Amino acid sequence: MKKVFPWIVTLFVVVLTGGIIAACLFLAVPYWLIAVTATIVGICGIYLLVRLLVTYIQHDYGGFSRLIWTVRRVQDGKKTFNDEEAGKVEESLLHWAEKHPELEAEACRYAGDLRFAREDSRGAESFYQRALRTAVPDSENELYLQHRLALCHFRGGKDRDAFREFEALAARSPFFSIGHAAMVEFGWCTDPDPEKARELYWQSYLAGNESAMANIMELEWFLEHGADKTARMEYEGYMRCCHNGRGLRAGVPSLRRAAQAGYVPAQFELGTLYMEGQAGDSLRQRRTDGMEWLRKAANAGYAPALYNLGTYSQVLCIHPETGKSCQPVIPGTRLYKNEDRKNCALEGHRLIQKAAEAGYIPAMLSLGNRYLIGDGYGRKEIFRPDRVMARIWFSRAAEAGSPKAVEILKKLG
């Protein structure tokens, strides 16, 4: 029906135009008036047709975008599917691949991601191989597919094949060197080499992979402070779950044991998982446990924990010391008293600044943005915009190695 509707409208406009012209002729209207009338009606009809076609195309491709969004939510652990639901999504993606050949690589890629998220490595590998046949060599999509194939082999127990593929991929694109770095750090199919792993993590971060910063901070903490052998083994089990595609939730038990054994980066990771809804059951439990674990890591001086604790304090209006949420003015909303919001914002700012002073790049960027635009809540009495301070923090982040800070400084002039 959607395909026929624009043509029905076109036919209606043509008939209407013809009717108006016939009426003008029957009523002996001057020819110039007929021409003007026909031109106006014709322009309106063409405009209407173009609008309908654009709407149709946007709606058509919008369905594909919704499928991609659904698969990404499954990957992030925010949505679960049974076999029937997953089969329908996969069938829809394959339908798109047949309907629009230019979308085949992308459709097969996300069908593979769906299989991978549901722990079907063989199915995922077949889709990735199919997507590679039409992927542009050395493109971001082709490199991503090669990375996912290496993860499939790693999950399937083919550690040596995965190691060779990760190593080759790191040589081609530093952005994807994070997989090779993890295998080098924990000694999977090679001798453990933390220094080389740190170098690979930094290469990935400098290439634009911001997720590598968490690995950098964890490794630097381990090299400086060490770790209990049992705690380190449990943390390694958690990292293996992350890299073999079993997912964050599957690694939570190991991560919790590492955190309970006193490994500070594990405490930070566990607290963050609770706050992001990837661990725990009820919202109250997630908030309470999450803030508690983050406070433990922050009290040990772990910069990422200080930053996250300050950010959650500002965004969720939670006091970082007690972990208690402020009472909203209207129950069920996020409308808080100005005094409560101001106190949480100031306390969060103090923690973020402490993390920035400890050399944590995301905290430096956050402070730079805060000073650049103000408090973000529309109340300038809390944080007034200060371009001088913003430039100082962006410069510090750039000196620490942040590519994003370099770009911002160029725009600031």
Residue 80 burial (10 A CB sphere; 0-12, 13-18, 19+) = exposed
The answer to whether the beta carbons of residues 280 and 286 sit under 8 Å apart is yes
Reading the block at residue 249, the tokens are 């939730």
Residue 307 has a pLDDT of 95
Which tokens sit at 13?
């406009």
Q: Which residues of the chain have pLDDT under 50?
A: 1-3, 58-62, 377-380
- The phi-psi region of residue 154 (left if phi > 0; otherwise alpha if psi is between -120 and 50; otherwise beta) is alpha
Query: What is the distance between the alpha carbons of residues 202 and 196, in angstroms, rounded to a whole number?
Result: 10
Res 359: pLDDT:
92
In our burial notation (b when 16+ CB lie closer than 10 A, e otherwise), range 110-130 reads bbbbbbbbbebbebbbbbbeb
> Is the CB of residue 391 less than 8 Å from the CB of residue 409?
yes
| CA 311/CA 175 separation, integer angstroms | 27
Q: What pLDDT was estimated at residue 301? A: 93
Per the CB < 8 A criterion, the answer to whether 307 and 366 are in contact is: yes
Alpha helix stretches (DSSP H) within 276-402: 283-299, 303-316, 338-357, 361-373, 387-400
Neighbours of 295 (CB within 10 A): 19
Separation between Cα atoms, residue 172 and residue 75, nearest integer Å: 25
Q: Does the predicted TM-score (pTM) go above 0.85?
A: no
Would you tell me how many other CB atoms lie within 10 Å of the CB of residue 375? 19
Per-residue DSSP letter, 326: P
Q: For residues 93 and 109, is the Cβ–Cβ distance under 8 A?
A: no
According to the model, what pLDDT value does residue 29 have? 56
CA angle 302, 345, 326 (to 5 degrees): 100
Q: Which of 188, 189, 184, 245 shows the shortest CA–CA distance to 215?
A: 184
Buried b (16+ CB within 10 A) or exposed e, 211-250: ebbbbbbbbbbbeeeebeeebbebbbbbbbbebbbebbeb
Sign of the dihedral defined by the CA atoms of residues 225, 230, 232, 238, in that order: negative
Q: What is the pLDDT of residue 235?
A: 92
First to last CA, the chain: 54
